[in-house]
Every structure is written in structure tokens, then in C-alpha cells.
A and B are shown apart, each in its own frame.
Chain A
Amino acid sequence: MTERDEIRGEAPDGDAAPVQRPPAEVRYAEELAALRADDRDPSPPGWELSLRAARRFIIGDVETGISRKFVGNPSLVDRALVTLATSRGLMLVGEPGTAKSLLSELIAAAVSGDSTLTVQGGAATTEDQIKYGWNYALLVAEGPSTRSLVPAPMLRGMAEGRLVRFEEITRCPLEVQDSLLSLLSERVVAIPELTGPDGMVFARQGFNVIATANTRDRGVNEMSAALKRRFNFETVFPIPDLDTELALVEAEVTTLLRRSGVEPPPDRDVLEVLVGTFRELRSGSGERSGSGAGPDRPSAVMSTAEAVSVAHAVGVRGWFLRGEPGSAADVVACLAGTAAKDSPEDLARLRRYLEQQVPHRRGPQWKALHDARHLLAD
């Protein structure tokens, strides 16, 4: 999904070289403006759009020409937006590549008209990067003042009444995560260095936090219960139905292949095999109960985005090696390299899947995939 956004990205002005990936509010500036102009419903205090308009912006609306930007359950978007209008933060959790960050960007763009107030979580994230830091030259010269204060996204979001995105929150040390506690419940940041009214920054209407967390990293289990309580959790799942995912992959890959100078469009059967394989590996071999899923799931990320990149490689391979669209054999070869990355475990899983599960699937394309299993390099 992110690829598509990159492609759409256009230069905000004609002078400089185009920005690689402008933020959502720039990419979809026209749609946002149209929605704002038409918005008849009441907006929550501090929001740029009403809940319904924000929903239309994300899910799309054919009648008013708003594109569909998030492929997933609409009810997820409903719950996310309503959560943000209450006093709890929103926590999006899920496997990598399920478009969590895209969703949070879209929501921030719709609600605050600005998706750039972002804290990127990581092992080295400190409180300075969340609340505020100091311009030390000024601090030494003038002492603590609003001039020497360098506000970080949270402080700005509170002061300006906007949504703040906290990406990969679980990758931050627990102490740093917990610095959000008072901020989310009291909705105020104290700056003890400053005196008078400047020493307390109260959150304005419209401030809230969207955090994302990756279930593959350190999970949300380690988060403190106190912090968990301040968030509503939404699990973002891979695209639920095959046709939707297939259509998305096809659209993305066709564009990518054209940019790579590959003439024939991707073969639908081959894409079906590829996406089907990804879906089965992702779910732990299509089992009905969750119990058997654990050990069978590959450690590599079997996301839609990854499927797009494999399909791209398949097309490139087929065209530049043989002058034809990629085949099921190319899928096997590319899966070995791209999806299974460097893990021999994943390679073994893939082989086991090709050997034992694929023969049960009907259709010539699946048979071709099974026949090509020897291409899986050791």
C-alpha cells in the first residue's frame, strides 16, 4: 500500500525536485478540502473534520469521488475514530506490513490536517524526543525560557490541539513509554524549569495520541497495565479476503513493472498462486483453529507489501531473462530469495509448504508451483 502512495506523491510546488513521499495531507489536499467544504456534520472540538467526513476520507466514497485509501474492515476505522474523540488514546497493533502506519497517518491528516507530529519509537528514544528538550546555546546564554525550549511532538500536539502519532511505541524502553502516563490522564505537561504560566502546558481540545505497535517486536504484553488502560486497542489484520488483496497486488505490481520497463502485465494465475501462498503461510497453513499456528508461521513478514515486492521481482525476472511474464517457477525462485530472506528456518517452512500443502490445491498454476519446488535453493 505504501508503494502506491509513493507513486501518487507529487511535488507540492513546481520548483524543487519532487518530494519522494509527501505527507498524506499534501497528497490528498484536494480531497480534504472538498470534504471540509461539504462537511455538514458536527465536528468534535479541535477536529478539522467531522467523524463522518474523516471516515469517508479513509474508507473512500464513490459518490463524492473520495478514493479508498485503507483496505480493511470499515468498522475498524469507525472504532478508531470514535476512540480518538473520547479521552483514551488509540493503539494500533498488528503484524508488520498491515498498513498500521498508513492508517495512523490518514487519521491524523483527516482529524488534525497534519500527520507530521510523529515520534518514532526505538531503543534510543528519550523523553526529550517526546516532550521537550533545550537549545543548549540559548539555555546557557539566557537560562530556561520559552525561547530556549525545544518542544517535541507531544508538547506541540498538546499546545496546538492536534493528534500526535507515536510509531512503534513498544520498541521504546518501558520507562520512556510510561512518561506518557501523566500526559494521557492529566492532559498536562509540567516544565519545572519555567516559572509562571509557562511552566504548565495544558492540552487543548483536539489533542490525542495514536500509537502503533508491532507484534513481531517486543509485544504489547510488556507494556505497563497503567499505560494499557489509557489506550483502546485495535488489532489491524492482513487484508481479510483474497480477491481484495489480489486486486491490490495486481494494481501495485502493474504500475511497478511498467516503471521497471517490463512490458507484459503480470499473469493473473501466477499472482493468484503468489498471493495464495502468502496468505496461507501468513495464517500458519490455513488452519481453522489458532492452536497450530504458532510454530508454522514464518518469521519473515508475509505482508501484502512483501507480496507486491515478490511479484515485482517475478515479473522482472520473467521479462528480462526470457522475455515473457513471470511464471510459477519464478515465484518459487523469488520466494526463496525475497521472502525467506536469510533464515534457513523459513526456507524449510516454505519447502514443507510446497511439498505437502500445494499438491492439495487444484489448478494448473498450483501444479506448476509444486513442480518448481526443486528451485528452492538449499
Chain B
Amino acid sequence: MSAVFLGVRHHSPACARLVERTIGELRPAQVLIEGPAEMNGRLDELLLGHELPVAVFSHYRDEERAATSWAPLCDYSPEWVALRAGRAAGAEVRFIDLPAWHPAFAERTNRYADAEARYAEATERLCRHFAVDSSDALWDRLFEVEPAEGLTERLDAYFALVRGDAEADAGDRARETYMAAWVRAAVDAAGDRPVLVVTGGFHQPALRALAGSGEPGGSGDDWERGEDGWPRVPAPPDGAMAGSFLVPYSFRQLDAFAGYQSGMPSPGYYQRVWEAGPEAAADGLLRVVVERLRARKFPVSTADLIAARSLAQGLTALRGHPRPARIDVLDGLAGALITDDLDRPLPWTGRDTMTAGAHPAVVEMVAACGGDRTGRLHPGTPAPPLVHDVAAQLAGLALDGGPEATYRLDLTDAAGLERSRTLHRLRVLGIPGHVRTAGPAHGVDPVFTERWEARSVAGREAALVEAGAYGATLAEAAAVALTERTRAGSAEADHLAGALFDAVLCGTDGLSDQLLGELATRVRELPMPGPLGEVLATALGLWRHDRVFGMARGPLLGTVIDGSTERLLWLLEGARGSSGVDLPRLRAVVAVRDAVLHAPELLSLARETAAGIAWRIAGDPEAPIDLRGAAFGLRRSLGQVPGAAGDPAEAVRTVARAGTDALGDWLAGLFALARDEVTGAVGSDDGEGAESLIDVLDGLVCALPDDEFLSGLPALRQAFAFFPPRERDRIAGRLLERRGVRGSSRSLLRTTADPLLIARARALEESVSRLLDRYELEATP
């Protein structure tokens, strides 16, 4: 008897129901499921009685690559139902796919992601034909809301079309060949009784062809069978570490809106569909969204509710859905509740992830669809490898000293650093048990010791099992947790700097490409130059000088430095507006200068490009005046030979025409960047320009009318505040010299009162004497 092939979509309630029904009708002897074959000996573990969702977590590490992947299962997963119902019906149940560490899965972190998403051409054509927005909407329309009759035929037709002539990639081909070998073995084993094969629909047409064509006993590319007559499960290469374990999973992790490589979105919604059907799920969604919005004080009137419901019903009818689909309800709610223009299209009209700044109603709708269920493993489940790894590490580093222990760690000492990293990784993973009471707060404070105190370990075991989903070793798990935190967080510098410094504290061995990539992406999204400049300055400082955390010249900081330099230049050229001096922004320009001068090998942008940008900012009349001065200085310090237009003296004259305030602000920018070039050069080759800048300034200031001088004084003083006392002293000396006065330049700088107070007194005096003048009351001596 030949096999019965059921092509399903992972996480589809309709397919799950079909699997359940088919097993009931067919009573198969063998049920084969797309799932990691190395778990076959441990299927009992899966059926211990967990609260779903759970996932089979697989990890792999050899000298060249490290990979982790998940095969998530929830109540309505067809694979899960096949496992459960197959066992209940007395069938032999087996997973038949390659192990997750196999190269066929390289780059794939979710076994149950939609395979067809990688071959999107056919689904796009179908979307156009049925006039729907996305493949998810298409799927709902064709399968989830339709009655069960004829579902198998529709699924077959759909997947035949999706697979079509698509040339599967090498990974998919290897998996299909392997699964076909299992099918043949199962057909042999089952004799006259039926065999049911439950796999992703995308593989089903190929599998059917492969399993039918190969002669029993094995052809050339067939997989070798073991002594038991089943295909051998490939073993990881020598020296590699690989394994699969059960870990708890959550709907949030499953939801397409919260990540990539996922399958069906909105697990919370489809859980309701599975439990109670589409009508109840639609009602439930409407209710939950309204409750959530009202809890957030977002006004939802009864009229809105009526409108949402009638819109949803109208959409269901218009689209020809026999029962309400997910997007009918969401569209109805969006139509009735949103009375603004949106910045982004509604997330369910495409496959977009949610972005910050989405409309609050949209955020709540997506959250309500996603659900907040988290799985829990049966207590009898073998603990994931992380639990053992942590226990071994804590014991090895003598960090398991009991509830009263405190640890003082010297970070300059290798052992101390290692212990600190371990504790920080636990902290990043949110494992209770230790609290840091003192230690460095960011990358630049000169603190090299840490103090940790042991605390209550309540909930520790559960937290570790949960964190087991992030990785097999502590370092790996911490890196994945940090990556997720970076991805999910808002685009704010504080958040990013926090994540970055945590990565520094956790050490280099856990760094992953994903984390680096995510940091680089997020850095490019920061909107404000000031905070971004701080991130850059800190990262650059650590990259150049760090001797403690082992981060100097490392890739982590390199990524951030490149990304933030580029982003900063972009932001700076676009800066507009306000007068006055924006010190954080000036510091950001300084950070850019340092990056270009001291870390050119990290940057993807050439020094000339940076100088060109600086030049354009300096000459842009719309740019803030302090920034123009800073850009002028940046260009000079990047060593691009200034032409006639690059002469600071000339530039100062031009700026001075715009007023004394502008002059002060411009100088503040210049001095923040290129102080050395201006004064340090006295007497050197470049002395000419430098001398004349001070002279020109002196001339300009002396020529100012008194009231203008007084009004511009604060800005000028702020500009010269960038000079340390010694240099100010030298400038003062130079001014005395110019006037031919002998005397101490120091006494010029040390006045008995605040110079601004003196200035104000002078202003007052002046206005008094003007008043006296006006009324001709000037006293005669």
C-alpha cells in the first residue's frame, strides 16, 4: 500500500484539523512527520504533558560555524496533532527530516518557517489573482475560513501551484531526498496498512514524486538504511557539538510581527480559531482589542464598536468569506477606530514587522492577535543544556557560594574578568541569584572592580529552563538574548548604549553576527546627533584604549563605530535650525573627527568623503551656525588643504557680518573641533593663518559698538571656554603684545568678579550716562 501525503502549512489550524480527521479515518500504521529525526528516540519526552507552545531547540557548534534553530510546536500545529493523534490511534510515529545542524538548514533558524516564502513568485501571482494583499490573507481566504469539505484537494492544488516549476535550493533538495527515503522505508514496514506523511506543503509534491520513483532497497542517491531497516540519522562530524532539547516557547516568539523567518502570524488569534472556530475567534479579537484600548485610555465608544462590527461583517461578505477571517476583523477595527492619517501601512496588509511609532490602536490590535501565552515544560522533562552549562561554570569559577556570599572581582585580573562575564551573562538573561552592587556603569569610568552579592535563587531553575531556548551555552544564550533585546527595543541612544555596554561586559566569546548586524542597523536609526555622538565617543574610546574588557580593536565596537559615524554625518548634514550652541552636537562632531582620524580602517567611508561633507555643511547657509563652525574645523583637522575659502580669518570676517552672536556660536563650533589648529600653530609653519585669526578677531571685537559687544559677549565667552587656561593665557599675552603693553597676561584672565557681572555693570553705567546725556544732566567735574 502506498503512502498518503498530507501537505500542510505549519501552524495552520485548518491543516491541524485535517490531520486529526485523516488519522481518524485512515487508521495508519505509520505516521511520518516533518521534524528532526534525531528526536525519534525521545518522542516520549514530547508527550509528557507540556503546556504548549514548546520548541525543539537544536544547537550546533564546530570550529567554523555555530548555529541554533527552533522547531516550535503549538496546540494547533499539524505536526503536533499528527504526533498526538497518531500515537493515540496506535500508529508508529516518526520524525523524518534531517537534524537541524545539517548544512541543509544553514541560515535557517526556524524549521517551521514558510518554505514558500522563499519562492514567492507563485504566491504573488495568486495574491494578484484573488486580489488580496498578502499571502497570509490569501491563505485565510482559501483554507482557514472555508468549510472542511474538499480541503485536501484544495491544499494539493495550491501547493502544486506554489511549488510549480520552482527549482528548490540544495538544502530543500537534500531534505526532500532524505524524507523520501523514510517514506519508502515506512511503506516497506507497513505492509498492507496505510502510511500517513505529514510535511510542509511545499515539499509534498516533490516528496510524492521522489518516494514513488525510488526502487525499494535504495538507488544511488538513496540514504543508507540502518540495521533496523530505517534510514540512518546522520551524526554530526567529529569534534562538533550538537544536540536537540525541548524548551518552553512563547506566542510572542512565534508571531511573524515580532521577527523574521516565521510562519503564520497572530498565534493568539489562531489558538482561538483552533479552540472555538473562526466566529468565536473574531468575536474574541474584537473584545480583546477594545478592552486593551480602553485600558490604555484610548476612547472607544459604543458607536465605534458597532461600526467595527458592521464593517467586519460587511468585509466578510464582500470578500466572499463564509466565516469571518482575521483580516476582516482587523480591517473593520482599523476602519472604525483610526481617525488619523497613518505613517505606515497597516502591518497586516504586508509582511512588515511592527515599527516604533505605529498608531496605538494598531499596536493593540497586533498585540491582541499575537497573544501572550508562554509554554511550560512538564517538570519531568530533561533540562536543556544551558542548565548544565551554567551549573558547571558557576562551580568551576567558585561562584556558587550560597545565599550570603559576596564576590569582589578585580576586572584587570583574567580570572576576575571571567567570573564577572559569567555573572553579567546571567544578568542579561534575567536569571535571578546575583546582583551587582558596584562596578563600572559605562565604558569610560575608571572603575575596575565589581562587587556582586548572592541573592535568593527562587525561580532560578525555571528561568534557566526558559532561557535554555536562547542557546546551549551561557555565552551563546546571552548573545541571543541581547540580540533580541536590541531588535525589540526602541531606537533610542540610551537603550542602544545599554545593550552595547552589556555586550562589552559579557565578553567576546558570545558575539554573534546577528548581534553585530542588529547593533549596526539600530545605530543607523538613531534620530538625534547628540546621544549618538556619545555612543560613538564611548565605543571609540573603548576600541582604542580598552585594556580591561578585551574589546580593543574588536569587531563589536568596530561595527558600531562605522555605523554611527556614517549615520552622524548623515544627520549632521541634515541638521537645521536653532541658534545657540548645541554642545552635545558639537561633541558628536568631535567624535566623528576622532573616528575618521584614529580608526580609518573601520570606516566604510573615505576621509575625503567626510571632508567633503564637512565642507558642504560649513558652506550651507541653512545649517546651524555653531555646526558650520564645527564643520569648518572638522574639515581643517581632516587635513584637507584649505584653499582661499578655507582660510579661517576670511571665514571669520564673513560670519561676523551676521552679528556678534553668530560669531560667538560659530567660533564655539570651530574651537570645539580645531583649537590646536588655531592657537597651537603660533610660531609654526602654519602660523600665518593662526596669527591672523586672533588678530582678525581682535580687530573685529575692538571695532564693535559697545552695546553690540555687550550683547555678543556671552556667546564669545562660551566659545573661548573651549581653551584650557594655559592656552587662554597665551592668547591674552598675544593680545597684550599686539597693543604693545607689557604686563601679566594672567591678571587679565583673573578678574575680581565674574566678567559677565562686570559687563552688566558696564551696560548699566552706560545707560545711566546716556540718560543723563539726554536730559543734559551730565555733572560737570
Contacts and interface: CB of A to CB of B under 8 A. Distances in A.
Nearest to B342: A235
Contacts of B334: 79
Interface in A290-307: 290-293, 295-296
B491 A295 contact: no
A290 B307 contact: no
Interface string A179-215: 0000000000000000000000000000000000101
Contacts of B331: 75, 78-79
Contacts of B327: 75
A237 B345 contact: yes
Contacts of B613: 355-356
B350 interface: yes
B445 interface: no
B315 A355 contact: no
B133 A83 contact: no
A169 interface: no
Nearest to A288: B525
Contacts of A308: none
Interface residues of A, number: 54
Nearest to A235: B342
A4 B552 CA distance: 60
Interface string B292-333: 000000000001000100110011011110000001000100
A244 to B, nearest CB: 10
A52 interface: yes
Interface residues of B, number: 52
Contacts of B133: 73-75
A81 B314 CA distance: 9
Specify which of B327, B331, B527 lies most central, judged by the most chain A CB atoms within 10 Å of its CB: B527
B341 A82 contact: no
A290 B340 contact: no
Contacts of A62: 129
B480 to A, nearest CB: 21
Contact of A83 (B335, B349, B350): B335
A79 B335 contact: yes
Contacts of B521: 288
B340 A291 contact: no
Contacts of A229: 303, 339
B574 interface: yes
B341 A220 contact: yes
A108 interface: no
Query: Chain A CB within 10 Å — which of B320, B521, B573, B622 has the most?
Result: B573
B683 interface: no
Interface in A204-253: 213, 215, 219-221, 228-229, 231-235, 237, 240
Interface in A331-358: 344-345, 348-349, 351-352, 355-357
Contact of B620 (A75, A76, A291, A348): A348
Nearest to A243: B124
B345 A289 contact: no
Contact of A52 (B318, B357, B491): B318
A345 B573 contact: no
B614 to A, nearest CB: 12
A326 B246 CA distance: 60
Contact of A74 (B131, B358, B569, B573): B131
B622 A233 contact: no
Interface in A53-68: 55, 59, 61-62
Given A74-B133, A86-B307, A288-B521, A296 B574 contact: yes
24 contacts: A59-B131, A73-B133, A75-B331, A82-B318, A83-B311, A85-B314, A86-B307, A220-B339, A220-B341, A229-B339, A231-B339, A232-B336, A233-B335, A233-B339, A233-B341, A234-B335, A289-B357, A291-B525, A292-B526, A351-B616, A352-B570, A352-B573, A352-B574, A356-B570
Interface of B: 129, 131-133, 137, 303, 307, 310-311, 314-315, 317-320, 327, 331, 334-336, 338-345, 349-350, 355-358, 491, 521, 524-527, 566, 569-570, 573-574, 576, 609, 612-613, 616, 620, 622
Interface of A: 51-52, 55, 59, 61-62, 73-76, 78-79, 81-83, 85-86, 88, 93-94, 213, 215, 219-221, 228-229, 231-235, 237, 240, 285, 287-293, 295-296, 344-345, 348-349, 351-352, 355-357, 359
Given A52-B320, A290-B344, 20 more contacts: A74-B133, A79-B315, A79-B331, A82-B314, A82-B318, A83-B311, A86-B311, A229-B339, A233-B340, A240-B345, A288-B355, A289-B356, A290-B343, A290-B357, A290-B358, A291-B356, A291-B525, A295-B574, A296-B574, A355-B616
